[in-house]
Each structure stands twice: as structure tokens, then as C-alpha cells.
Amino acid sequence: MRKQIAAANWKMNLSFQEASQLLDNILQSGITPAAHQLFLFAVPFPYLEMAKQKLNRIGYEAAAQNCHHKIKGAYTGEVSAIMLQSLGIRYCIVGHSERREYQREDNAMLAEKVNVCLNHSVIPVFCCGEPLAVREQGGEKDYVKQQLEESLFHLSEDEIRKIIIAYEPVWAIGTGKTATSAQAQDMHRCIRLLISERFGNHIASDIPILYGGSVKASNAAELFHCEDVDGGLVGGASLIADEFVEIMKALK
């Protein structure tokens, strides 16, 4: 079975004390992931070392929410993939829609971020997804295809195998709106077929594709049990221990 992943994206939330307590509360649930499951916690940069120490158990990992597209240099306030590697952080979100919008990150820059992550043993959780206007015009599949082609399709077979993809319809992020299970499955299947056309089904069938966009305990099981949905990238609900624990339990 493909890796099934419950990934928390805390974004810019929580004090250090609140973050530490939230992890303690989640860990107290005592959930032991199966061999094919993974629980990721993308925490703010100042909390990475704390999270890494607390998540010191099989199937639990701390992740970064972003990294810079250059390895080093005069980029005040930025964090590089080599810094993440030196901390032992093995996962990093790349291309979240909020960064695409607010920081004007384009597909070419994200291709660079994917490259620097892979070159420093950091696994990218690559985000893709369409805004509402594109969905309303029926252009969501072409839109996501362009994102994949321009940011991922330059990779070798060995490199693409390491990628985790998160499909996040922008119109469903933080809005309370969620793609129906049928909509999610349709887009996840489309993404898998696009990867298959470029790299072959033997690779596409093994790449985890997560759904993101107002995932919560009440809808996680229905979404995650779609054939091509391999878990979720979770925002607001990951800040509530009981909610995220139920989401973790909902994985295939």
C-alpha cells in the first residue's frame, strides 16, 4: 500500500508553550502508526528542534513549512534546505497556495525549491491546486497540470519517487468549504494519471497524494477512503488535539 499520511500544517499559529502542549496532548493519545502510515507536523521554524525531540518515535516526523530556493546567501530571515538537513528535518512543505499568493512564488521558483530539498535529503510535500475562478470555468485540470509540469516534471524517476504531493483547491483552504469526495477523487486520479503519462504507472501508483482544504474529523474518513486520496494536509483542525487525533485515526 502507498504511504498514508496525516500532515499537520500549523502555519503562523501558537506560542512556544501552546505548541509544546499541543504536541504533548496529541502524543498522549498513544496512536502507533502502521508501517504504511506517517504523521507529519509542519511547525513554525522556531519550534522545529522542540518538535523533533518530542516526535522521537516511529512514524512521527517534524516538518518545515517552507525553505528558500537558494542554498545560502544574503537572504535575511530565510531558511535553507541545508539548515533543515543539519537539524535532521526530513520533510518540507513546498508551494503552499498562501506562499504562491502572498510571496508571489511561481512554478519556476518552486522547481528550484524542490531541487534544493532533494539535493539535501529533504522530502518536499509539493502543493498544487486551483483557485475558485479556474474551477468555475472548468480549467482546474489544465491548471494543475501546468503546476506539475513546470515544477516537478524535470525530475528523474528516482527523484520523483521521493515526492509527496498535496492537492489543495485554493477555494477550500480555510473557507470551511470542502471538495466533495467525488471532486477530490477525480482530481487525485487526474494527478496520478499525469504522473503516469510522464514517468510510468509503476511510479505514479506509489506516490502519495494528499488532500488539503478544510479537512476535519467529520469528513476525514470519507475523503481518505477514496481510492487515490492518501491522507490529508490539515490546517485549522491540526491545531486542536482531539480533532487531529481523529484525523490520524481516519487514515487507510
DSSP 3-state assignment of 228? Answer: coil
Q: In what order do the strands lie in the sheet with 91-94?
A: 60-63, 37-42, 4-9, 231-234, 209-212, 164-167, 123-128, 91-94
Q: How confident is the model at residue 238 (pLDDT cuts 50, 70, 90)?
A: very high
Residue 174: the pLDDT is: 77
Domain 4-249 = CATH 3.90.76.10: no
Comparing 22-26, 35-39, 51-55, 213-217, the range with the smallest average pLDDT is 213-217
- Tens digit of pLDDT for each residue in 32-85? 999 999 999 999 999 999 999 999 999 999 999 999 999 999 999 999 999 999
All structural domains of the chain with their residue ranges: 4-249
Residue 179: the pLDDT is: 86
Contact between 174 and 209 under an 8 Å Cβ cutoff? The reply is no
Residue 173: the pLDDT is: 80
Q: Which residues are catalytic?
A: 96, 168
- Tens digit of pLDDT for each residue in 89-99? 999 999 999 99
Find the mean pLDDT for residues 218-240.
97
Find the mean pLDDT for residues 7-32.
98
Residue 233: the pLDDT is: 98
Residue 237: the pLDDT is: 97
Cα dihedral sign for 23, 52, 165, 224?
negative
Residue 198: the pLDDT is: 98
- Tens digit of pLDDT for each residue in 154-201? 999 999 999 999 999 998 887 887 789 999 999 999 999 999 999 999
Residue 245: the pLDDT is: 98
Q: Could you write out the DSSP letters of every residue in 51-110? A: HHHHT-STTEEEEBS---SSSSSS-TT---HHHHHHHT--EEEE--HHHHHHS---HHHH
Higher-confidence residue: 214 or 70? 70
Q: What is the dihedral of CA 26, 170, 83, 146, to 10 degrees?
A: 140
Nearest to 211 by CA among 168, 149, 243: 168
Q: How far apart are alpha carbons 204 and 156 in whole angstroms?
A: 13
Residue 176: the pLDDT is: 80
Q: How far apart are alpha carbons 145 and 64 in whole angstroms?
A: 25
DSSP 3-state assignment of 37? Answer: strand
Kindly state the helix (H) or strand (E) to which residue 159 belongs, with its residue range. Answer: helix 157-160
Grid cell at residue 91: 520533510
**What residues pair up with 126 in beta bridges, in sequence order?**
94, 165
What is residue 227's DSSP assignment? T
